[in-house]
């Protein structure tokens, strides 16, 4: 019969666990020494925000959205940021273009193309495509 306990194996396991514990303690200690990231942004990054970024309040909210045929399809009513902050979405009210009551749809903010004149274009935004998109509703 095979004996599952071997002193050699348990000593080897103890050494492995001990080494892992020492390595983990070292990593945790280094992370604590480093401290939190600096608050705010530096001058270079601030310049990029001002010159390259979009201000939701000043340049996005309330702005009309057109398709590539220059037909006005709606207005940007809101900007929603994903929980992980890796994605942003535009909520667009599209009622008048569809000939129905106003309803909100959601597209990725990256799908909105900013034109030289400052207007937004949503490529491929035909009536059929917009009607097929689910209606966005805020949770209560």
Q: 128 is in which domain, residue-wise?
A: 55-132
| Within a domain: 10 | no
Q: Cβ atoms within 10 A of the Cβ of 124, count?
A: 10
Give the DSSP letter of residue 56.
Answer: I
Count up the domains in the chain and report the number.
1
The whole-model pTM stands at: 0.67
Tell me, yes or no, whether 140 lies in a domain.
no
Say yes or no to pLDDT of 105 above 50: yes
Residue 137 counted as domain residue: no
Predicted pLDDT at 16: 45
Which pLDDT belongs to residue 32?
52
CATH of the domain at 61: 2.30.30.240
Cα–Cα distance between 73 and 21 in angstroms, integer? 60
Q: Please report whether residue 87 resides in a domain.
A: yes
Q: Is residue 102 assigned to a domain?
A: yes
Contact 120, 112 (CB under 8 A): yes
Residue 84, in any domain of the structure: yes
Tell me: pLDDT of 35 over 90.
no
Q: What distance in Å separates the CA atoms of residue 99 and residue 42, rounded to the nearest whole number?
A: 48
In this predicted structure, the answer to whether residue 7 has a pLDDT above a threshold of 60 is no
Collect all residues with Cβ–Cβ distance below 8 Å to 72 and sequence separation of at least 6: 64, 65, 66, 96, 97
Is 96 within a domain? Answer: yes
Which whole-number Å values give the CA distances from 139 to 103, 136, in the listed order?
Answer: 15, 10
For 73, residues 6+ apart whose C-beta sits below 8 A from its C-beta are 65, 66, 67, 92, 94, 97, 122, 125, 130
Q: What is the pLDDT of residues 15-33, one digit of tens each?
A: 444 444 444 444 444 445 5
According to the model, what pLDDT value does residue 72 have?
A: 93
Q: Tens digit of pLDDT for each residue in 51-79?
A: 888 888 888 999 999 999 999 999 999 99
Q: d(Cα 95, Cα 7) in Å, to the nearest integer?
A: 76
Is there a domain that residue 29 lies in? no
Would you state the pLDDT for residue 54?
84
For residue 40, pLDDT beyond 80: yes
Q: What is the edge-to-edge ordering of all strands in the sheet holding 104-108?
A: 104-108, 88-93, 72-81, 64-66, 120-122, 112-114
């Amino acid at each position: 019969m095979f004996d599952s306990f071997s002193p050699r194996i348990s000593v080897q396991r103890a050494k492995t666990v001990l080494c892992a514990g020492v390595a983990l303690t070292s990593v945790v200690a280094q992370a604590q020494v480093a401290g939190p990231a600096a608050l705010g942004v530096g001058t270079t990054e601030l310049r990029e925000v001002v010159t390259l970024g979009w201000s939701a309040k000043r340049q996005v909210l309330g702005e009309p959205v057109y398709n590539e045929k220059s037909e006005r399809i709606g207005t940007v009513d809101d900007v929603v940021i994903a929980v992980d902050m890796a994605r942003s979405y535009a909520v667009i009210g599209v009622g008048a273009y569809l000939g129905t009551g106003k309803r909100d749809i959601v597209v990725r903010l990256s799908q909105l193309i900013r034109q030289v004149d400052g207007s937004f274009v949503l490529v491929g935004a035909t009536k059929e495509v917009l009607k097929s998109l689910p209606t966005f509703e805020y949770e209560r």
